[in-house]
């Protein structure tokens, strides 16, 4: 993951520009809040918040928000984009999710973690989530494998997953309450929502 983070640091503005063309995940964010179903403003953590594109939408719905990303340059952009929100430069593999968190969003961030790292992270998140709390994530979809993509900015490591991988990792911890598959710019994507 360190090489991937270094690549994002080198090219944060270029990647932010690229991601901006995809659009913000308004429907996903609202669905996550609906599936949580609690009252008041949820306590939300976004793992792999990048340049804050989706953080802006989340922050419009709750001020109880923390955005986390390993790339200091992405966090710099996020702080410019949503200056009143809390953003931290942290590795999601070791970041301590605050107790009482209601929703964890992880849009296109778990795809940089291997299966063992995802399993460990899901277990740690479970311990900090409120009852009924949700983990809302999206990854690239294919049979599980590692792929290193090298572009003009450097290497980035990706892991591909199927729904069955998350069913196994969620067993005994979460109920899978929503899944969806999409094709975006020629890439197959999987969305999974897990509920404690």
Q: Read off the pLDDT band of 24 (50, 70, 90).
A: confident
**What is the per-residue pLDDT across 178-187, written as a single tens digit (0 to 9) for each?**
999 999 878 8
What is the rounded distance in angstroms from the CA atom of residue 55 to the CA atom of residue 68? Answer: 10
Three-state secondary structure call for residue 134: strand
Structure confidence by residue, pLDDT tens digits, 61-106: 999 999 999 999 999 999 999 999 999 999 999 999 999 999 999 9
Name beta bridge partners: 135. 104, 194
Q: What is the mean pLDDT of residues 48-60?
A: 95
Name the DSSP class of 100.
T
Q: pLDDT (tens digit, 9 = 90+) per residue, 131-153?
A: 999 999 999 999 999 999 998 88
Token readout for 75 is 């966090």
What range does the domain containing 67 cover? 2-195
According to DSSP, the residues that pair with 156 across neighbouring strands are: 149
CATH of the domain at 108: 3.40.50.150
Provide the number of structural domains found in the chain.
1
């Amino acid at each position: 993951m360190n090489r991937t983070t270094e690549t994002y640091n080198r090219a944060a503005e270029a990647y932010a520009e690229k991601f901006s063309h995809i659009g913000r995940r308004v429907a996903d964010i609202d669905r996550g809040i609906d599936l949580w179903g609690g009252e008041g403003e949820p306590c939300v953590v976004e793992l792999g918040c990048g340049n804050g594109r989706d953080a802006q939408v989340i922050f419009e719905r709750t001020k109880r928000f923390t955005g986390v990303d390993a790339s200091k340059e992405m966090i710099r952009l996020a702080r410019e984009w949503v200056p009143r929100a809390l953003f931290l430069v942290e590795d999601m593999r070791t970041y301590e999710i605050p107790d009482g968190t209601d929703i964890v969003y992880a849009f296109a961030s778990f795809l940089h973690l291997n299966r063992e790292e995802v399993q460990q992270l899901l277990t740690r998140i479970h311990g900090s989530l409120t009852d009924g709390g949700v983990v809302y994530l999206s990854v690239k979809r294919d049979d599980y494998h590692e792929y290193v993509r090298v572009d003009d900015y450097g290497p980035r490591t990706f892991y591909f997953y199927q729904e069955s991988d998350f069913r196994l990792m969620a067993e005994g911890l979460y109920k899978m309450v929503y899944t969806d598959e999409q094709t975006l710019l020629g890439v197959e994507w999987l969305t999974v929502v897990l509920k404690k």
